[in-house]
Amino acid sequence: MADDPEEGMLSWDESVFRDEHVFEIDYVPETFQHREGQMRNLTYALRPAVRGSRPLNVVVRGPPGTGKTTSIQKLFDEVGAQTSDVRTIRVNCQVNATRYSVFSRLFEGTFDYEPPSSGISFKKLFSQIAEKLVEDDRVLVVALDDVNYLFYENEASDTLYSLLRAHEEHPGAKIGVIVVSSDPSLDVIDELDSRVQSVFRPEDVYFPVYDQPEIVDILDERVRRGFHDGVIGRETLEYVAELTADSGDLRVGIDLLRRAGLNAEMRASRSVERQDVEESYEQSKYINLSRSLSGLTDTEQVLLEVIAHHDGEQAGEVYEAFREQTDLGYTRYSEIVNKLDQLGLIDAEYAEVDGRGRSRSLSLSYEKDAVLDRLE
Of the residues 285, 308, 336, the one at which a domain ends: 285
* Higher-confidence position of 9 and 198: 198
Tell me how many domains the chain contains: 3
Q: Are residues 124 and 61 in the same domain?
A: yes
Binding site for ATP: residue ranges? Answer: 66-70, 210, 222
Q: Are residues 192 and 43 in the same domain?
A: yes
Q: Is 13 part of any domain? A: no
Q: Are residues 53 and 187 in the same domain?
A: yes
Distance of alpha carbon 41 from alpha carbon 204, whole angstroms = 9
Measured on CA atoms in the order 129, 134, 136, 141, is the torsion positive or negative?
positive
Q: Are residues 111 and 238 in the same domain?
A: no
Give the model's pLDDT for residue 353. Answer: 64
Q: Residue 221 sits in which domain range?
A: 210-285
Q: Are residues 202 and 214 in the same domain?
A: no
Q: Are residues 274 and 335 in the same domain?
A: no
Give the model's pLDDT for residue 67. Answer: 96
Which among 375, 32, 359 has a CA at the least distance from the CA of 217? 32
Q: Are residues 277 and 244 in the same domain?
A: yes
Q: Is 10 part of any domain? A: no
Task: Let me know the angle formed at the C-alpha of 130 by 145 and 98, rounded to the nearest 5 degrees.
Answer: 40
- Give per-residue pLDDT as tens, 149-203: 999 999 999 999 999 999 999 999 999 999 999 998 899 999 999 999 999 999 9
Assess whether pLDDT exceeds 60 at residue 275: yes
Q: Are residues 220 and 360 in the same domain?
A: no
Distance of alpha carbon 55 from alpha carbon 139, whole angstroms = 8
Distance of alpha carbon 230 from alpha carbon 237, whole angstroms = 12
Give the model's pLDDT for residue 3. Answer: 46
Q: Is 371 part of any domain? A: yes
Q: Is 20 part of any domain? A: no
Q: Are residues 192 and 305 in the same domain?
A: no
Q: Are residues 64 and 112 in the same domain?
A: yes
> Average pLDDT, stretch 215-228?
97
Q: Is 142 part of any domain? A: yes
Distance of alpha carbon 43 from alpha carbon 363, whole angstroms = 42
- Report residue 253: phi and psi, to 5°: -65, -40
Give the model's pLDDT for residue 360. Answer: 86
Binding site: residue ranges? Answer: 66-70, 210, 222
Give the model's pLDDT for residue 355. Answer: 58
Q: Is 24 part of any domain? A: no
Q: Is 232 part of any domain? A: yes
